[in-house]
Amino acid sequence: MTREDFRRELGDAFDAISGSPDPALSDRVRSALVEAPERRGPVWIGALAAAVIAVILVGVLVLGNPLNRGPQVPGGQPTPSATPTQAPPVSPNPSPTASPLPICSASAITANQSPQTAFIDDVRTGTHAGFDRITIQFQNGQPPTIELRPQTGTTFTRDGIGDKVTLAGKNGILVIIKGADAHTAYSGSTDFKTGYAGLAEARQVGDFEAIVQWALGVNGTPCYHAYILDNPTRLVIDIPTT
Amino acid sequence: MISVVMDQRPQTMARAAQGDAQAFATLIAPLLDPAYRLAAVMLADRTTAEDAVQEASIKAWRKLGQLRGDVGSLRSWFLSIVANECRMVRRQRWWSVTKLAEIVPLHPSGDQFDATSTDLKSALLRLSPDERLPLVLHFYLDLPLEEVARTLGLSPAATKSRIYRTARKLRSDLTLEEVF
């Protein structure tokens, strides 16, 4: 392949993705620019107003949010000293302490600071007294958002492919990790058929457009504790078995 | 391939710097096509790409003072704002960035060349948007390495390395000579 061949093929592929812009785009942008607020004064005032509002909002959230007294992450184990912005101290193999009831509804974990793309470099499962665990480890920091969505049944749609897969177990939890990829630093298994009492199966059902999805098949109700630990950064999801 | 020749118009730039929005619109008009293509490839969604370009244009207008009248840097400066806007859109509207169904193939199916292009397109879409960015800038918008580096905020050597590394993700057998 010559340099020109490679460029031509890439150009055609890019063309297929982007197409051409709407001919009206130029007029649309021009109108938006003309109608945009004047650059200096109003922007400066707007920024100041936004800063004041942000300070007030942060204050309200800090003082008024009961979750503030718990961990950063839904379903995690609260510690008296935990702050909303810091993950709890990490031990090599953390065990849940006395914890609140597990979460049985959708929840999200958001990061204060994230890399452009968080590279998953390890996934492992384990069983412990009272819970089964899946750990998804990140090489370079916490991804911006992680969502957990419990569901009835264990049928999931594979992202980017569209077909359906059914996991072992009775119910499921879909874990959606946004701003991550599982193909750069991870080459391990993408399907763990564990046979555990709680977590029956964990299977990757998406690694596309910087969104990684793992489906969990559980034997009981789809409830969980989820939290982030660091050194290394990892998402820990515990499925109660008692 | 798209070749964008920047129109060096210091007078238009001066008017824009004085607050003339029409002058700024004229200044960036030749950049809207490459900006859209960059956004469309990063976001894999054409409608969202046009929205991103519009929003980036307004942000560029508000930040024009950062350019200090340097028309020569306008293109890389503007494209970096578009790229940042795309990143922001992805963070805010993650659910709208994988609408592959909206991507219309350019060539009719059945053609041998089209099959290659489709394979490459799929491979491109498997890259992260930030991995696609230097490829778009260099191979699609024909920006020289130095300008790609300015847009990315990297050194030319690091940019070259990044482009080569990403190109090898598309075709593992590519040699350096086949890329540059």
pLDDT tens by residue, B107-157: 333 333 334 455 788 888 888 888 999 999 998 998 999 999 999 999 999
- Among residues B45, B74, B101, the one where a domain terminates is B101
3-state SS track over B48-72: HHHHHHHHHHHHHHHCHHHHCCCHH
The pLDDT, as a whole number, for residue A65 is 53
Q: Residues of B with CB below 8 A from A144's CB?
A: 91
- How many structural domains is chain B composed of? 2
Tell me the angle at which helices B46-62 and B21-28 cross, rounded to the nearest 10 degrees. Answer: 130
Q: Which of B54, B139, B174 sits opposite A29 (nearest CB)?
A: B54
Residue B127 lies in a domain: yes
Q: Are residues B19 and B93 in the same domain?
A: yes
Q: How many angstroms separate the Cα of A8 from the Cα of each of A14, A76, B129? A: 10, 51, 20
Q: How many angstroms separate the Cα of B76 from the Cα of each of A13, B51, B71, B140, B141? A: 23, 20, 10, 14, 11
The pLDDT, as a whole number, for residue A63 is 61
Residue B2 lies in a domain: no
Residue B1 lies in a domain: no
- Which secondary-structure segment (H or E) carries B177? helix B176-179
With a CB-CB cutoff of 8 Å, which residues 147-166 of chain B face chain A? Answer: none
Query: Is A29 in contact with B25 (Cβ distance < 8 A)?
Result: yes
Residue B96 lies in a domain: yes
Residue B42 sits in a domain whose CATH number is 1.10.1740
pTM over 0.80: no
- Among residues B38, B69, B101, the one where a domain terminates is B101
Q: How confident is the model at residue A215 (pLDDT cuts 50, 70, 90)?
A: very high
Using DSSP, state whether A46 is helix, strand or coil. helix
Query: At residue B166, does pLDDT exceed 80?
Result: yes
Mean pLDDT of chain B: 79
- Judge whether B71 and B9 are in contact, CB under 8 Å: yes
Environment class of B71 (CB within 10 Å of its CB; exposed 0-12, middle 13-18, buried 19+): middle
Q: Are residues B77 and B157 in the same domain?
A: no
Residue B3 lies in a domain: no
Mean pLDDT of B43-48: 84
Q: Are residues B113 and B97 in the same domain?
A: no
Which of A209, A211, A213 should we substitute to test contact with B (largest number of B Cβ atoms within 10 Å)?
Answer: A209
Tell me the angle at which helices B74-92 and B21-28 cross, rounded to the nearest 10 degrees. Answer: 90
A107-121, A218-232, B65-79: lowest mean pLDDT where?
B65-79
What separation, in Å, do the N-terminal and C-terminal C-alpha atoms of chain B show?
16
Q: Does B165 or B122 have the greater pLDDT score?
A: B165
The pLDDT, as a whole number, for residue A139 is 94
Q: Residues of B with CB below 8 A from A7's CB?
A: 1, 139
Q: Are residues B113 and B78 in the same domain?
A: no
pLDDT in tens, A156-210: 999 888 889 999 999 999 999 999 999 999 999 999 999 899 999 999 999 988 9
Q: How confident is the model at residue B93 (pLDDT cuts 50, 70, 90)?
A: low
For residue A143, the one-letter residue type is P
Residue B138 sits in a domain whose CATH number is 1.10.10.10
A48-52, A228-232, B49-53, B124-128: lowest mean pLDDT where?
A48-52
d(CA B74, CA B77): 5
d(CA B147, CA B77): 10
Q: Are residues B28 and B95 in the same domain?
A: yes
The pLDDT, as a whole number, for residue A37 is 62
Question: What is the topology classification, in CATH, of domain A87-240?
Answer: Immunoglobulin-like (2.60.40)
- Among residues B40, B70, B101, the one where a domain terminates is B101
The pLDDT, as a whole number, for residue A62 is 64
Q: Are residues B14 and B51 in the same domain?
A: yes
Q: How close, in Å, is residue B169 to chain A by CA atoms?
A: 10
For residue B2, the one-letter residue type is I
Instruction: Count other C-beta atoms under 10 Å from residue A230's C-beta.
Output: 14
Query: Is A36 in contact with B61 (Cβ distance < 8 A)?
Result: yes
Query: Is B36 in contact with A15 (Cβ distance < 8 A)?
Result: no
pLDDT in tens, A32-53: 888 776 554 445 555 666 777 7
What does the buried/exposed string (b/e) look like for A147-179 if buried means 16 or more CB atoms within 10 Å of the residue's CB? bbbbeeebebebbbeeeebebbbebbbbbbbbb
Query: At residue A74, does pLDDT exceed 70?
Result: no
Mean pLDDT of A234-239: 92
Q: Are residues B113 and B91 in the same domain?
A: no
What are the respective helix, strand and coil percentages of chain A, to the nearest 5?
25, 35, 45
- The structural domains of chain A, with segments of one domain joined by +, span 3-64, 87-240
Structure tokens at A88: 């709890």
Q: Are residues B86 and B125 in the same domain?
A: no
CB proximity B44 to A under 8 Å: yes
Owning domain of residue B83:
8-101
Residues contacting residue B43 through CB under 8 Å, at least 6 positions apart: B49, B52, B86, B89, B90, B97, B129
- Judge whether A173 and A223 are in contact, CB under 8 Å: no
Query: Is A3 in contact with B180 (Cβ distance < 8 A)?
Result: yes
